[in-house]
Amino acid sequence: MSEPMLRMYISFVGMILLFVATGLILLARHKLTGIISGVVAAIAYICMLVGGFIILYIVFSGPTPP
C-alpha cells in the first residue's frame, strides 16, 4: 500500500472518531443521566482528542510524493 493511500485511510479514521465523539456527546447530554452520562462523555472527549490529533498530524505533515 502506498503512503498516500495509507494517509487517506488514517485520515478517515480520524474523521470517524470525530463523528463518533459528536454522537456520543449528544447522547450523553440529552438521553443519559448520572454516572453513565459522565462515562459516555469521557469516552466521547477521548475520541475527540484522538481524532483531532490524527487530523492535525495528517494536515501538518505536508504533501506526499506521488
pLDDT in tens, 7-58: 999 999 999 999 999 999 999 999 999 999 999 999 999 999 999 999 999 9
Q: In sequence order, which ranges of the chain are alpha helices (DSSP H)?
A: 3-30, 34-60
- pTM, 2 dp: 0.89
Maximum CA extent, the chain = 51
CB-CB contact of 64 with 7 (8 Å): yes
Q: How many alpha carbons lie under 13 Å from residue 49 in its C-beta half-sphere?
A: 6
* C-alpha cell belonging to residue 35: 454516572
Residues in the chain: 66
Instruction: Give the C-alpha separation, 26 to 16, whole Å.
Output: 16
